[in-house]
Amino acid sequence: MRAIIQTFNECDNTTAGVDCTKPASFLRHPVGALATFAHVYTAPGRYWVTVWAHEVVPRSNKSETVSSNVSVVITLRPTLIDDVGPVFLLVPNSTYVDEPLHLVILIQNLAPDIHVTADCEDHAGTRSVNVVETPTNITLREIVESDRYRNRYRIAASSRPHSTNVDESTMYSHLEAVHVVHQDCKHRLRVTVSRIGPEITGNSNHFTLSAAVAVRRRPTLADEVGAVVIVSRQPAYVDEPVEFFYAVQRPHAELEYRLDFDDGRQWSTVSVNSTIHLPAWLNGSDLELRGHLRELIAV
């Protein structure tokens, strides 16, 4: 006991050669002994910590005890998910081979010690994807209503349950990652949010969002429009108009229709009327069409 008191006394007096690590405020109040100690609690709750100072009077059977206590409340350390708030992973609805796959990551509280990484996995292996923070923040409402993302992206994963109410006006840090996929198959995308610190232990220092994205080859124009047929009225005579009927199974506004009549004249551009009525001569007995073309014409 004497040796311990002597050590603390030397520390109180800041004697050279003694490792004194106590705060300066303690040095203003000399005491006989100072000590630090630690204890690990395995469950949350309120605990009373008591310390006893016990002394036996020399050359007697008498003893004296002085005690002091303090109340300490132990709580669960907030997880990384709690600290960063909601995190969303947005992926495009359509992804094609050999074209950039743009990922959008939204994080409510992006601190300097928070790191975001991404990787893409398929049957050929796992490749890391570079994640870049954009200079501007954004809300979910702006994502939904913008021309760039409207009807082109979907929320593929989030750090909160789907039942959790989300405020569309909350501001998020906006991160993006771009990856080019060279195989038409299903790819697994993983975004990992992590924080490195000496006080963080276990699985509370990171969490992962994942989503499956089907990458396919971009359809050709023939795939998009489907069956195409052109027929002419027969018989056809010189110096008399020849009637034609042109049908596309799945037309869309970006298509331009041109006709070449094979008589040396320039191409003719025609407009498409989706409400056109079939001419009566298409049902004539002199018009022979294959089964699938007849079904197309009859639609």
77-116: per-residue pLDDT in tens?
Answer: 778 888 899 999 999 988 888 999 899 999 999 988 899 9
If one compares 120 and 203, the residue with the highest pLDDT of the two is: 120
Residue 172 scores a pLDDT above 90 = yes
Are 185 and 126 in the same domain? yes
Tell me the chain's radius of gyration from C-alpha atoms: 38
Identify the H or E element spanning 5.
helix 2-12
Quote the tokens at residue 277. Answer: 């009525």
Phi-psi region of 85 (alpha: psi -120 to 50; beta: other; left: phi over 0): left
Which pLDDT belongs to residue 175?
94
Q: Tell me the residue range of the domain where 44 lies.
A: 2-74
| Nearest alpha-carbon partner for 96 in 178, 223, 225, 214 | 214
Are 196 and 233 in the same domain? no
Are 11 and 108 in the same domain? no
- Show which of 152, 183, 216 is a domain's final residue: 216
Residue 4 scores a pLDDT above 50 = no
Are 38 and 103 in the same domain? no
**Total domain count, the chain:** 3
Cβ pair 298, 233 in contact under 8 A: no
Residue 294 scores a pLDDT above 70 = no
The domain that contains 172 carries what CATH number?
A: 2.60.40.10
Are 102 and 131 in the same domain? yes
Which pLDDT belongs to residue 271?
66
| Nearest alpha-carbon partner for 245 in 228, 264, 268 | 228
Mean pLDDT on 146-165: 81
Are 94 and 210 in the same domain? yes
Are 95 and 201 in the same domain? yes
Are 208 and 227 in the same domain? no
Are 41 and 157 in the same domain? no
Are 161 and 109 in the same domain? yes
- Show which of 182, 198, 216 is a domain's final residue: 216
If one compares 117 and 258, the residue with the highest pLDDT of the two is: 117
E strand segments, the chain: 45-56, 63-74, 87-92, 95-96, 100-107, 114-122, 125-129, 131-133, 138-139, 153-158, 171-180, 186-195, 206-216, 228-232, 244-248, 257-259, 268-270
- Show which of 74, 104, 127 is a domain's final residue: 74
- For 49-81, the DSSP string reads EEEEEEEE-TTSS-EEEEEEEEEEEE-PPPPHH
If one compares 69 and 3, the residue with the highest pLDDT of the two is: 69
Are 93 and 203 in the same domain? yes
Question: 149 vs 58, 140, 143, CA distance in Å?
Answer: 84, 11, 6
